[in-house]
Amino acid sequence: MGQPFIGSEAIAGGVLTKSQLETRYTRLFRDVYVDRGAAITALVRAEAGWLWTGRRGVVAGFSAAALHGSKWVDERRPAELIHDNHHRAAGIQLHRDVVEADEIETIDGVAVTSPTRTALDLGCWYPKMTAVAGIDALAEATEIKTADVELLARRYAGRRGIARARRAIELFDPGAQSPKESWLRVVLIEAGLPRPQTQIAVRDEFGSAVAYLDMGWKDVKVAVEYDGEQHRTDRRQYTWDVRRLEMLERLGWIVVRVVAGDRPAEVVRRVRAALARRSPCQPGARRRGLG
């Protein structure tokens, strides 16, 4: 039994005895068990939470995002479900929002909010930065469309958090490769800079892609990249980063590198300075908002 299961059903069906259930399996929620020693992933929590509702709830929020294939869903997050159960359980977060039949899908037998509805819920339930990062990952996994989420938002015009959700919908981009990249992009846009393109392919003189940049402005060859911890702790990664930066500079790119701890105001100042270095050389750059 690699997947979560309802203990009382396993006993009633003769699959396990009560003693076997208590000694060989771990209880996640009331009457919901999993193999002892099994990794408790976001997917496992989601399915276990759904079983806890008696299969009557709908997996939602970050739990739904995980079932749809999103990366970076924190495994420590509680299972999120839309359900009218008034009982509380540790490790489960219940929402009592209305969900229509056309906003529900089935994944491996589990009822889950559709990608579009999941994106709207993330925008309504979470602060902007958290929501955008979650929707970025969901968009990368499912190819949701802004227009579809905006259309669904109209259905729930009076919903609590809908104004915040609409802003998150405007900001999401499936090109983000980490929550930190999502954060960085939002910082730049919220500062009034032109919206950067993500995952920019840099090509050599033969037309072959030699690098992909986190985000930036291709027309003026200014890029902004977030360097994670591995860039400093992994010697091979560090060496490759140095060579890569030299190559990009030879190809005419200015690369602003951002690391953990950098303050938003300082990041914006550095990016504005980089754009200012290029805008006088680019006809029409001031009209495009780069001046």
Cβ atoms within 10 Å of 138's Cβ, excluding its own = 27
Q: Which two tokens stand for residue 252?
A: 């005419």
- Domains (range + CATH), the chain: 39-171 (no CATH), 179-281 (3.40.960.10)
Dihedral angle of Cα 190, 193, 197, 199, to the nearest 10 degrees: -70
Average pLDDT over residues 163-188: 97
Give the burial string for 225-236 (b: 16+ CB within 10 Å, else e).
bbbeeeeeeeee
Q: Which amino acid is at 174?
A: P
- The pTM of the full predicted model, rounded to 2 decimals, is 0.89
Residues in the chain: 291
- Give the integer Cα–Cα distance in Å for 198 and 76: 29
Query: Tens of pLDDT along 200-221?
Result: 999 887 788 888 999 999 999 9
Query: Tens of pLDDT along 10-64?
Result: 999 999 999 999 999 999 999 999 999 999 999 999 999 999 999 999 999 999 9
Q: What is the mean pLDDT of the chain?
A: 92
